[in-house]
């Protein structure tokens, strides 16, 4: 193919402060400068959101243009000569600041934003400490809009960032601007309060301390905290979160370096749902049931007791069952499956399955590059969501699609059992009862054939044969299709990959001696030992075996603990190291943020039981880095580049490509249906999550 002679320019050359720069056409001057390390101050401009040009901080000199120009709205032009810091510019910026400060209170000494406030930084840089304005400051009282959000109009500089973040980023539109001129202020959607996602994106993006969170306000100063970059423990999306920690207490969550797969996105659970770690109901000591009553005992006693019991049951040829939580680390899951298979010599091992990835991999056998990443969701031209209330169940994935709609004109199609937020900006939204999705898909076929590519995200109603039907139907579209099999929790995907399954070994290798599934174990009347590592299966189903000796690792005295004979207090994800694999197969590293008295990481508890049983030589060391090495070299798809992981990035695993011939227990695949505000027992023990008026919420409402 020959190139036409007058092709539009693919690169624009221009000069800033004497430096020759270039950028693709359409790039805003402010972005082009930033990419070359030249900072142009901005309050209202925010990468990724619509342009506002409300603050005039970004003024620069452009040759041949009579007045100072706003760099945030000016696209780069060929031959343009720009100066970003001159006396004239400094004077203009100082003037802007003087205006902003006319009504701004002198709150810096008590303001949450002190030390990381963009207004403070700018005044520090340009002066404007003195004002010619001697009139009374216009004051309006601070208000609380929700258990999360506080607004102080006096501090607000009306940059509209919050309004755009809520409207465009979240798709909620709960914030607006009311009144005019000096009386303008931000208004919530319900007159005096908010009805929203409570995500705190507005608070995070506010350049000043006008929006503050109830969780963090007046608690500390940013320089008094340690900032620990780790991964959210709640849903399967795997957002990176930076926990602000002081004295072993988590005080704040955000994504300070914007470095993760989520940029700075976090939902209410990731940003504020960490307070379960400090719940008074945390179990802090091992317990043994003595005469029907749970009594606190020492670690050595509990470990010894369990090891003895395990050994004697094993010697008698008894029946074990092991259930793993879907929030354990890959290392814990891997070590646990090894313990179960090599130590306890059984494959009665399972987790709460929430999506049918197994059938999907089998159906896709022979196709490469067929699973989508979080980045693909942003870049794809079209996406089809089947059977999931994405904005509630998979907030980051929904956020990625919304960003794609704004930036790349992504076309979204939804086929769901009830109304979803995506309908607001989708190409087509169809509501059909569960199980009737395929009739709706048939009607969409022609329109989807016209798309260039498609990412299909499907929930738990598509499983077994229905997954095969979906893949077969998608093949008829004649376009490249990628998939996301939606699963629930922060390491639901890891539980599959690490072989915490009765019929699959790590890396989706068929287990020659399949064992009992979770339902099978709970129903087995002759079960001798049920070892529950973190999960709470007895919340939903009874345990049939009256004689079973139940060992549970847990944070709280939940339904499972009520039936347990021995309890081990376990550490949460925020208290341990290891790796997690998110719904799109990206591995990330957890970093312990705090220590909690009494609790131990599950890996350590499992390892100590192994040691007591004399299994340590068979199972090997139980430190997470050594176990990770084993996973890295031994589990299919986990041979990921280590520097990516070690620097806090997300390393993409490669799925097995080949048949996975097992009998998938389709009936046991069920999403827990957590909403934006629930998260199993973690959510029930978060004061914040249970206090928002939107709690617990319901799926398919809007």
Partner 1 sequence: MSLTFTPETEKILQDIWSRYPEGRKRSAVIPMLMYAQDQLGVVTSELVAEVAKRCEVSPLQVEEVVGYYSMLNKKRMGKHHVQVCTNIACLLMGGEALWHHATKRLGIGHKEVTADGLISLEEVECAGACSWAPCVVDGYEYHHHVTIEKLDQLIDSIQKVH
**Residue 50 makes contact with partner 1 by CB under 8 A:** no
Q: Per-residue string for binding with partner 1, 304-333, x by CB under 8 A?
A: ------------------------------
Residue whose entry in the numeric block shows the structure tokens 């709460």: 352
Q: Per-residue string for binding with partner 1, 135-174, x by CB under 8 A?
A: --------------------------------------xx
Residue whose entry in the numeric block shows the structure tokens 């619509």: 50
Q: How far is CA 431 from CA 178, 383, 443, in A?
A: 36, 16, 13
Which region, judged by CB under 6 A, interacts with ligand SF4, from 127-135, 203-211, 287-295, 549-557? 203-211
Which region, judged by CB under 6 A, interacts with ligand SF4, from 61-69, 91-99, 159-167, 621-629? 159-167
Q: Which two tokens stand for residue 4?
A: 């036409």
Cβ of residue 179: shortest distance to partner 1, in angstroms? 5
Cβ of residue 166: shortest distance to partner 1, in angstroms? 10
Cβ-based burial of 37 (10 A; exposed 0-12, middle 13-18, buried ≥19): exposed
- Partner touching 688 among partner 1, ligand SF4, ligand FES, none, CB below 5 to 8 Å by kind: none
Angle between helices 118-126 and 87-102 (to 10 degrees): 130
Which region, judged by CB under 6 A, interacts with ligand SF4, from 167-175, 285-293, 357-365, 473-481? 167-175
292 conformational bin, left if phi > 0, alpha if psi -120 to 50, beta if neither: left
- Partner touching 45 among ligand SF4, partner 1, ligand FES, none, CB below 5 to 8 Å by kind: ligand FES
**Which residues in 605-637 are b (16+ Cβ under 10 Å) and which e?**
bbbbbbebbebeeebbebebeebbebbbeebbb
**Among the listed residues 453, 457, 451, 452, the one whose alpha carbon sits nearest the alpha carbon of residue 374:** 457
Contact 145, 188 (CB under 8 A): yes
Among 62, 201, 420, 505, binds ligand SF4 (CB under 6 A): 201
Determine the residue with CB nearest ligand FES: 72
By CB under 6 A, the residues from 230 to 249 that bind ligand SF4 are 232, 234-235, 237-239
- Partner touching 481 among ligand SF4, ligand FES, partner 1, none, CB below 5 to 8 Å by kind: none
Number of residues engaging partner 1 in binding (CB under 8 A): 12
Distance CA 343, CA 609 (A): 11
Distance CA 655, CA 107 (A): 53
When the beta carbons of 55 and 496 are compared against ligand FES, the nearer one is 55
Distance CA 379, CA 397 (A): 12
Does the N-terminal peptide bond of residue 675 adopt cis geometry, omega within 30 degrees of 0? no
When the beta carbons of 29 and 631 are compared against ligand FES, the nearer one is 29
Contact 131, 220 (CB under 8 A): no
**Residue 590 makes contact with ligand SF4 by CB under 6 A:** no
Cβ of 372: how many Cβ atoms within 10 Å?
24
Q: Per-residue string for binding with ligand SF4, 244-273, x by CB under 6 A?
A: ----------------------xx-xx---
By CB under 8 A, the residues from 174 to 203 that bind partner 1 are 174-180, 187-189, 191
Q: From the CA atom positions of the chain, what is the Rg in Å?
A: 28
Q: What ranges in 341-423 are assigned the alpha helix state H? A: 357-363, 374-379, 390-393, 395-408
Q: How far is CA 571 from CA 276, 284, 567, 577, 609, in A?
A: 11, 10, 13, 10, 16
Number of residues engaging ligand SF4 in binding (CB under 6 A): 41
Q: Which two tokens stand for residue 55?
A: 């603050």
When the beta carbons of 54 and 81 are compared against ligand FES, the nearer one is 54
Contact 333, 498 (CB under 8 A): yes
**Residue 688 makes contact with ligand SF4 by CB under 6 A:** no
Distance CA 663, CA 655 (A): 19
SS3 600: strand
By CB under 6 A, the residues from 46 to 85 that bind ligand FES are 53-58, 70, 72
**Residue 564 makes contact with ligand FES by CB under 6 A:** no
Q: Dihedrals φ, ψ of 75, to 5°?
A: -75, 150
- Partner touching 56 among ligand FES, partner 1, ligand SF4, none, CB below 5 to 8 Å by kind: ligand FES
Contact 622, 339 (CB under 8 A): no
When the beta carbons of 46 and 160 are compared against partner 1, the nearer one is 160
Determine the residue with CB nearest ligand SF4: 270
- Partner touching 58 among ligand FES, partner 1, ligand SF4, none, CB below 5 to 8 Å by kind: ligand FES
Which region, judged by CB under 6 A, interacts with ligand FES, from 9-17, 36-44, 312-320, 335-343? 36-44
- Partner touching 267 among partner 1, ligand SF4, ligand FES, none, CB below 5 to 8 Å by kind: ligand SF4
- Partner touching 187 among ligand FES, ligand SF4, partner 1, none, CB below 5 to 8 Å by kind: partner 1
**Residue 305 makes contact with ligand FES by CB under 6 A:** no
Helix (H) or strand (E) holding 553: strand 549-554
Please, which residues have CB within 8 angstroms of residue 48's CB and are 6 or more apart in sequence? 169, 263, 403, 406, 407
Give the residues lining the site for ligand SF4 (CB under 6 A): 149, 156-162, 165-166, 170, 172, 174-175, 186, 194, 196-202, 205-208, 210-211, 232, 234-235, 237-239, 266-267, 269-270, 395-396
Give the residues lining the site for partner 1 (CB under 8 A): 173-180, 187-189, 191
Give the residues lining the site for ligand FES (CB under 6 A): 42-45, 53-58, 70, 72
């Amino acid at each position: 193919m020959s190139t036409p002679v007058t092709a539009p320019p693919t690169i624009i050359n221009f000069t800033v402060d004497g430096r020759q720069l270039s950028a693709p056409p359409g790039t805003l001057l402010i972005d082009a400068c930033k990419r070359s390390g030249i900072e142009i101050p901005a309050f209202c401009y925010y990468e990724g959101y619509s342009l506002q040009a409300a603050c005039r901080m970004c003024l620069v000199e452009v040759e041949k243009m009579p007045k100072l120009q706003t760099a945030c709205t000016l696209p780069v032009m060929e031959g343009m000569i720009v100066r970003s810091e001159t006396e004239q510019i400094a004077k203009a910026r100082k003037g802007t600041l003087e205006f902003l400060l006319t009504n701004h209170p002198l709150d810096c000494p008590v303001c949450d934003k002190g030390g990381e406030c963009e207004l403070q930084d700018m005044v520090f840089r340009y002066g404007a400490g003195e004002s010619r304005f001697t009139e009374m400051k216009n004051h309006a009282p601070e208000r609380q809009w929700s258990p999360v959000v506080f607004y102080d109009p006096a501090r607000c500089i009306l940059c509209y960032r919050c309004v755009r973040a809520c409207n465009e980023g979240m798709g909620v539109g709960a914030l607006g601007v009311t009144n005019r001129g000096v009386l303008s202020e931000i208004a919530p959607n319900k007159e005096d309060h908010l009805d929203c996602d409570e995500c705190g994106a507005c608070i995070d993006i506010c350049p000043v301390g006008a929006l503050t969170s109830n969780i963090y306000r007046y608690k500390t100063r940013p320089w008094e905290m340690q900032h620990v970059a780790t991964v959210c423990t709640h849903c399967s999306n795997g957002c990176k979160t930076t926990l602000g920690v002081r004295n072993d207490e988590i005080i704040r969550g955000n994504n300070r370096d914007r470095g993760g797969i989520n940029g700075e996105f976090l939902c209410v659970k990731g940003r504020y749902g960490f307070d379960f770690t400090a719940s008074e109901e945390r179990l802090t000591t091992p317990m043994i049931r003595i005469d029907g009553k749970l009594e606190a005992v020492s670690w050595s006693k509990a470990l010894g007791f369990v090891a003895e019991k395990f050994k004697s049951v094993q010697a008698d040829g008894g029946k074990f069952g092991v259930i793993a939580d879907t929030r354990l680390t890959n290392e814990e899951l891997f070590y646990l499956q090894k313990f179960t298979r090599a130590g306890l010599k059984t494959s009665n091992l399972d987790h709460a399955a929430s999506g049918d990835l197994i059938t999907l991999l089998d159906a896709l056998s022979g196709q490469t590059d067929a699973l989508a990443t979080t980045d693909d969701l942003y870049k794809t031209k079209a996406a089809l969501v089947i059977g999931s209330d994405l904005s509630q169940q998979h907030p980051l994935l929904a956020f990625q699609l919304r960003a794609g709609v704004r930036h790349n004109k992504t076309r979204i199609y939804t086929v769901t059992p009830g109304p979803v937020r995506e309908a607001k900006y989708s190409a087509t939204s169809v509501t059909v009862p569960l199980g009737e999705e395929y009739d709706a898909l048939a009607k969409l076929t022609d329109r989807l054939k016209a798309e260039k590519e498609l990412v299909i995200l499907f929930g738990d109603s598509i499983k077994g044969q229905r997954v095969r039907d979906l893949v077969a139907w998608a093949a008829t579209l004649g376009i490249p299709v990628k998939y996301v099999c939606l699963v629930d929790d922060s390491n639901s995907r890891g539980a599959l990959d690490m072989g915490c399954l009765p019929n699959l070994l790590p890396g989706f290798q068929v287990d020659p001696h399949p064992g009992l599934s979770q339902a099978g174990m709970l129903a087995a009347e002759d079960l001798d030992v049920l070892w529950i590592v973190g999960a709470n299966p007895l919340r939903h189903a009874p345990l049939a075996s009256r004689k079973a000796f139940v060992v549970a690792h847990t944070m709280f005295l939940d339904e499972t603990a009520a039936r347990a004979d021995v309890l081990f207090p376990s550490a949460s994800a925020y208290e341990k190291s290891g790796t997690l694999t998110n719904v799109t197969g990206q591995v990330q590293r957890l970093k312990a943020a705090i220590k909690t008295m009494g609790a131990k990481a599950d890996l350590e508890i499992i390892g100590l039981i192994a040691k007591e049983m004399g299994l340590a030589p068979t199972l090997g060391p139980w430190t997470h880095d050594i176990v990770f090495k084993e996973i890295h070299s031994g589990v299919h798809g986990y041979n990921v580049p280590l520097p990516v992981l070690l620097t806090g990035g997300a390393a993409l695993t490669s799925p097995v490509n080949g048949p996975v011939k097992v009998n998938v227990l389709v009936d046991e695949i069920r999403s827990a249906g957590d909403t934006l505000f629930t998260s199993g027992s973690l959510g029930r023990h978060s004061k914040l999550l249970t206090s928002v008026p939107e709690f617990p919420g319901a799926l398919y409402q809007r």
